[in-house]
Amino acid sequence: MSTSIFVGHAKPPANTVSGQMYTILSVVCEVEMETGVIVAAEFTVATELAKDYLNRLLAGCNLGTDEDAIVERLEKCYFSGTQKALIQAFRDMAKRYRTQAGTNRPEAPAEPAKPAG
């Protein structure tokens, strides 16, 4: 099989429906390993509508190249008390993908050394 499953987790706020239903919010993505394309996504959120919407939002996106753009989409399109936890769980899942795929996000450049003198 050319796809793999990656799961990320975060703690949802207790004062949300998802927080009442789940102690952990999870993002599960099936990813095509050769391309990094998300084939399907599933989320532990409270409603089927939100689950379906989030799946459609992520399906077809490239996890290897579009991680920041996906987070921007989530920030612009998913308004819920669990938004931050959902993004945190997504980032956790993406990190697991990068580890397995052997790719890492570039770190911020180090501060240049000050000349002696």
Q: 38 lies in a domain?
A: yes
Residue 76 CA to residue 99 CA, distance in Å, equals 27
Averaged pLDDT of the chain: 86
Tell me if 117 is assigned to some domain: no
Asked if residue 40 belongs to a domain, the reply is: yes
Query: What average pLDDT does range 96-116 have in this prediction?
Result: 65
Q: Distances in Å between the alpha carbon of 82 and those of 10, 31, 76? A: 10, 24, 14
Q: Does residue 114 belong to any structural domain of this protein? A: no
Dihedral angle sign, alpha carbons of residues 91, 97, 100, 104: negative
**What integer pLDDT is reported at residue 109 of this predicted model?**
42
Closest CA to 41 of 49, 31, 32, 33: 31
Question: Residue 105's pLDDT band (boundaries 50, 70, 90)?
Answer: low
Q: Residue 32 domain-assigned?
A: yes
Which CATH number covers residue 35? 3.90.1010.10
pLDDT over 90 at 102, yes or no: no
Mean pLDDT of 89-94: 96
Would residue 110 count as lying in a domain? no
**The total number of structural domains that make up the chain:** 1
Question: pTM of this prediction?
Answer: 0.82
- Looking at residue 104, its pLDDT comes to 63
For 33-87, what is each residue's pLDDT tens digit? 999 999 999 998 878 999 999 999 999 999 989 999 999 999 999 998 889 999 9
The verdict on residue 109 lying in a domain is no
| Domain limits for position 54 | 3-101
Question: In whole angstroms, what is the distance from residue 58 CA to residue 90 CA?
Answer: 10
Judge whether 86 lies within some domain. Answer: yes
What confidence score (pLDDT) does residue 110 get? Answer: 43
